[in-house]
Amino acid sequence: MKNKKLLIIIGIVVLLISICFFSISNLKKEDGSTIDSRENILKEQDSFMHITSEIELDNYLIGAITSNNKIGISIFESEKNGKYRFLMQLLTTEDVVFHTFKEYDLFWCNKEDLDYAMVTYTVEGIVQEPIKIDVKDYKVSYLKSPQAKSYSYKVEYYDKNGNVIK
């Protein structure tokens, strides 16, 4: 009888310790629900990663990121309960990042005092009218990609005085 009670008590203690261990390990896991959490997820790959700004696009958070002498774009996908799952990051040593994601063309330039950019698409060989986009505050900007088999684009960035930024 004593052995049976002792086994039950030991079983309960082991169960409680397992529940506590599982709960604590889940608390430490980053869920992407805050900018700090998303930054920590990025830091698992590069400890110097920093999210400069983020925009929401459909069910995604698109981040402007910096790390050492690189800049880039991060993409997190919305999940349940305000959590975000890491999808990808793109880093470059250039001052500008261009990336096509889903049906959008993403643009980010890591320069001070930017005001706007002019994007000129060439769709199936035909140059389109330039489109002005806001690029203030170090944020990623985007345009819906042309629905064409082939296209390209040229982007020129301007400061607050209307001068082209090189």
pLDDT in the model for residue 35: 93
pLDDT value at 96 more than 60: yes
In a domain, 105, yes or no: yes
Continuous segment of H or E residues that includes residue 78: strand 70-78
Rounded-to-integer distance, Cα 111 and Cα 138, Å: 8
In a domain, 15, yes or no: no
pLDDT value at 14 more than 60: no
DSSP annotation of 138 reads G
> Which comes out higher in pLDDT, residue 42 or 16?
42
CB 108 within 8 A of CB 96: yes
If one counts the domains in the chain, the total is 1
CB 87 within 8 A of CB 100: no
Rounded mean pLDDT of the chain?
Answer: 87
Please compute, for residue 17, the number of CA atoms within 13 A of its CA located in the half-sphere on the CB side.
6
In a domain, 4, yes or no: no
pLDDT in the model for residue 54: 95
In a domain, 22, yes or no: no
In a domain, 14, yes or no: no
Q: What are phi and psi of 74, to 5 degrees?
A: -115, 150
CB 123 within 8 A of CB 131: no
pLDDT category, 24, cuts 50, 70, 90? Answer: very low
List, in order, residues 6 or more apart from 102 with CB less than 8 Å away: 58
> Which comes out higher in pLDDT, residue 138 or 145?
145
**Residue 57 structural domain:** 28-165
pLDDT in the model for residue 157: 95
In a domain, 20, yes or no: no
CB 135 within 8 A of CB 141: yes
In a domain, 129, yes or no: yes
pLDDT tens for residues 32-90? 999 999 999 999 988 889 999 999 999 999 999 999 889 999 999 999 889 999 999 99
Rounded-to-integer distance, Cα 88 and Cα 30, Å: 16
In a domain, 90, yes or no: yes
pLDDT value at 23 more than 60: no
